[in-house]
Amino acid sequence: MLYCVFSVQLDFSDEECWFCDSENEDCEDFVAYQDKLEKSCEGMWEAEDDEDLIEQITEKTNYCVLRIEYQNQLPN
């Protein structure tokens, strides 16, 4: 089944910033990295079901999915 992913929010809460010594939410480089990684998940995905879609995104990013907006692309 095809899914169109519009947005993804990943769980970075346990991640420490490797760009600098500050807290990750204070580091502009880390925030930019988070945004880029989440945006890389947008687009078309092929998965067996909703759970498989989330597993694939988790596997790709190495972060848990907190929130996802998507739509099934049903054949005409």
pLDDT score for 12: 85
Q: Tens-digit pLDDT profile for the chain (76 aa)?
A: 999 999 999 998 876 655 665 555 567 777 888 999 999 999 999 999 999 999 999 999 999 999 999 999 876 5
What is the model's pLDDT at position 35? 95
Domain boundaries, the chain: 2-73
Query: What per-residue confidence (pLDDT) applies to 17?
Result: 59
Q: Token match 């809460």: residue?
A: 13
